[in-house]
Structure 1
Amino acid sequence: MMGESLLEPDMTPEAILADLVALADLPGVSNARMAGCIRAHLARLGVECTVLPGPEGDRVNLFATIGPRDVPGYVLSGHMDVVPAEGQVWASDPFRLRAEGGRLYGRGATDMKGYLACMIAMVPEFLAMDLRRPIHLAFSYDEEIGCRGVGHLIARLPDLCAPPLGCIVGEPSDMVPVLSHKGKQAVELVIEGRAAHSSQPDLGVNAIYPAAEVLLFIRDLAVRLASEGPFDARFAPAHSTVVAGVVRGGAAVNIIPDRCAIQMEVRSVPGQAPQDITAQVLARLEGLQGVRVSHHELSSYPALPPPEDRGLAELLERLTGKAALQSVSYGTEAGLFHAAGVPSIICGPGSINRAHRPDEFVTVAELAACCAMLRGLGQVAAG
């Protein structure tokens, strides 16, 4: 029955989550410990895990399949990395799971190791179901710094399995299916002038002044997007946005600054690529006179548009018992799966409001609800 659990005591999501939280693998560095832990859990269950090295050389994606690979099935996808806890004040060690009052505290407990723990914990039940359609487990790296890892995994999907029927990205959504989110691109703009003593400013080229022109252009572009659109009422705000978030320039007040850097971010509604908005800023940057300019991308992912076919949404509504939410303000890897032709939806345990904060937690009840949803998916796949 859908509500019954066959989980062994040492294979509960709580026990697995404790193992995962103990590994502080951050984005941008090796994830060998986390990947090794997940591989070990799957190996104990007799499940082969494909290791997909990224181009960085020290990071990997993981992919495993329960059921037939040559039949279309479902992908469960989550990222292995977490944001740092440095500089935050926690009531306990953020990398040691603490249980209190039905809550499980630890870095990544809700974003999104809780979902990973449920994926792994459900493997014995999936194996027992004799699935007619496969359930794939996808574990990615470096999501927290711009979804950098999962694209390499997605590129390998044709070699790994038949075209999937759908992908459930388990970002924390209070177990509410989420249909769409905005796209994003973050870019650093660099303006270089020439240093000089402040008593002789004519001998230098002040990089901050032209940077200010770019900042004002970004401000005015944001106003134009808000007034002219395009608009999509399913989002709040209902238009694309652009902001300058970081400005760095100058070393001392008596030195003409020879460099200024601006970090800017675009979040765009479906149908408008964030790169198209960034391109307007880059054109203004290139138009600056008397300075050297450059730029590089910090992070990027496409929007997840609302589905044209509601089949996957209706399935998740049935499995969770909750009506789908049209959109969220945060971004996920679901946009990349969608762009690759895989119907995708967001649904996972925990709340996004707890993510990245001190004393991050997921509840035992939320993990149980996630396992119940996955159990139902397995029953659908068993046909």
Structure 2
Amino acid sequence: MGLVPQENVVSDFVLQELDPYLTKNGGLLTVERVEFVPNRGNVIITYTHPEAQNSDKTLAFVGSHMDVVPANPEGWERDPFTLSVEGDKLYGRGTTDCLGHVALMTQLFVELAKNKVATKTKVVCVLIASEENAEIPGVGVETLMESGKIDFIKNGPVIWVDCSDSQPCIGTAGAVAWTLKATGKLFHSGLPNLGINALELGMDAIKKIQERFYKDFGPVDKEKDYGFTCPSTMKPTRIESSTNGLNQIPPWVKISGDVRLSPFYEVQDLKEKLKSYVDDLNANITSLEGGRGPSSKYTLPDEHLKGKLELTFETSYMEGIACSLESIGFKSLSAAIAKIKGEAKPFSISGSLPLVSDLQRAGLDLTLVGFGKSA
């Protein structure tokens, strides 16, 4: 399983900073650390001004997570595990993703409580555990949702604070990893007509699959409205083949990659379509022949043998989202950023974020933002 974070090491600092402003000490904050796994707590902070005491309306900041991905110090100019402050810049693992945001949210609630800022709604922050590793279930925000602990934040806009570049992020792409296995027949390369070259079969199949993908999942007008720089894409990123001599026709090959899917398409539809492309090719495998010389065949009729294609998907995947451009959260965030920076430039990314589609599907009015540089 590798390294397992202990988010309570981080949240201990958060709780210490907030303690003077808790209701038990005469302040306006309530704080609850919710653990589903020991030492891996989520933190729910609520600021309630007297004017909002009887309101069930909320403004929530969610998504700042207390775990980080590992870092190899050899790839860093500075020690990634030590916070370096140089002028107005911070360097270190997690300064953008996402401990810098945890510190920002902590300071925001300190300032709210210290200055007793008048609000008509409750202001909530949910600092989460286990954002970086979806392979360990039952730890973070998805379990908070399932348990009902944060159902109350459905009563107002939710700002997901785990992006970058200090502008509203209004769209993300889905990510679906796939593997295409092509099976042929091993034979000496001096007699290629007696083998089925799985490497050639796989490459020809991928080309046809991509052609059909781009027809069925091409650009849509809404992607321009949301500022996506890329439409949906299907890209092979890795290839693996049988280990055999250079004078042998390879009997199998695996080509893997991912689809980055516009949020205006459905993942289930994508999977069904890709499977249908492969089924069609298997039913008419000879349609792939003809581009690699007269001795390159994908069937051996005398042996009642033909090449075979198999498509599989990784179990876990991410769905993209398109935030509502009519949301009061989006409009207010854009106005605030424009006031401070002079201009708001909402953008979308062809990358993917975990968890956000689940929250949107659960009924949260979600807008994304983050601070710090993305690269």
TM-score (norm 1): 0.69
Shift of 1:312: 0.6
Deviation digits for residues 35-94 of structure 1, max 9, x if unmatched? 1212312442443210234xxxx9956241324799342133223444444396322212
Indicate how the Cα distance of structure 1 residues 83 and 258 shifts in structure 2: closer, same or farther if over 3 A, else same.
Answer: farther
Aligned partner letter, 2:149 = D
Matches within 5 A, 1:149-168: 152-153=142-143, 155-156=145-146, 158-164=148-154, 165-168=156-159
Which whole-Å CA distance do the structure 2 matches of 1:89 and 1:158 have between them?
42
Q: Which residue of 2 aligns with 1:51?
A: 35
Which whole-Å CA distance do the structure 1 matches of 2:130 and 2:314 have between them?
18
Which of the numbers 15, 29, 32 marks the counterpart of 2:5? 32
Query: 1:176·1:348 contact (CA, 8 Å) conserved in 2?
Result: yes
Which whole-Å CA distance do the structure 2 matches of 1:36 and 1:134 have between them?
23
CA radius of gyration, larger in: 2
Matches within 5 A, 1:1-383: 29-33=2-6, 35-44=7-16, 45-46=18-19, 47-53=31-37, 60=40, 62-67=42-47, 71-73=56-58, 74-86=60-72, 89-128=75-114, 129=116, 133-143=122-132, 152-153=142-143, 155-156=145-146, 158-164=148-154, 165-178=156-169, 180-191=170-181, 193=183, 196=186, 198=188, 206-221=197-212, 223-224=214-215, 229-232=219-222, 233-234=224-225, 235-237=227-229, 239-252=231-244, 253-254=246-247, 256-287=249-280, 288=282, 290-291=307-308, 293-297=310-314, 299-320=316-337, 321=339, 322=341, 323-329=343-349, 330-332=351-353, 333-352=355-374, 354=375
Secondary structure at 2:167's aligned position in 1? coil
Deviation digits for residues 249-305 of structure 1, max 9, x if unmatched? 232334554443232322233321244234322223345365373513265322221
Shift of 1:133: 0.9
Query: 2:275·2:311 contact (CA, 8 Å) conserved in 1?
Result: no
Secondary structure at 1:181's aligned position in 2? strand
Shift of 1:157: 5.9
Query: 1:193·1:204 contact (CA, 8 Å) conserved in 2?
Result: no
Shift of 1:216: 0.7
Which whole-Å CA distance do the structure 2 matches of 1:65 and 1:349 have between them?
20
Q: How many residues align?
A: 319
Deviates more, 1:310-319 or 1:296-305: 296-305
Indicate how the Cα distance of structure 1 residues 182 and 176 shifts in structure 2: closer, same or farther if over 3 A, else same.
Answer: closer
Shift of 1:115: 0.7
TM-score (norm 2): 0.70
Indicate how the Cα distance of structure 1 residues 38 and 264 shifts in structure 2: closer, same or farther if over 3 A, else same.
Answer: same
RCO comparison, higher one (Cα < 8 Å, 6+): 1
Unaligned runs of 5+ in 2: 20-30, 283-305
**Identical aligned residues as a percent:** 19
Which whole-Å CA distance do the structure 2 matches of 1:167 and 1:117 have between them?
19
Shift of 1:195: 7.0
Shift of 1:151: 6.2
Indicate how the Cα distance of structure 1 residues 261 and 108 shifts in structure 2: closer, same or farther if over 3 A, else same.
Answer: farther
Shift of 1:243: 1.8
Secondary structure at 2:178's aligned position in 1? strand
Aligned partner letter, 1:325 = K
Indicate how the Cα distance of structure 1 residues 225 and 351 shifts in structure 2: closer, same or farther if over 3 A, else same.
Answer: farther
Which whole-Å CA distance do the structure 2 matches of 1:51 and 1:136 have between them?
16
Shift of 1:344: 1.2
Shift of 1:345: 1.3
Which whole-Å CA distance do the structure 2 matches of 1:92 and 1:146 have between them?
30
Which whole-Å CA distance do the structure 1 matches of 2:14 and 2:144 have between them?
21
Aligned partner letter, 1:193 = T
Unaligned runs of 5+ in 1: 1-27, 355-383
Deviation digits for residues 152-174 of structure 1, max 9, x if unmatched? 23633633441431222223433
Secondary structure at 2:171's aligned position in 1? coil
CA root-mean-square deviation: 3.7
Aligned partner letter, 1:326 = P
Indicate how the Cα distance of structure 1 residues 156 and 42 shifts in structure 2: closer, same or farther if over 3 A, else same.
Answer: farther
Shift of 1:113: 2.0
Aligned partner letter, 2:13 = H
Shift of 1:316: 1.4
Which whole-Å CA distance do the structure 2 matches of 1:267 and 1:250 have between them?
28
Secondary structure at 2:321's aligned position in 1? coil
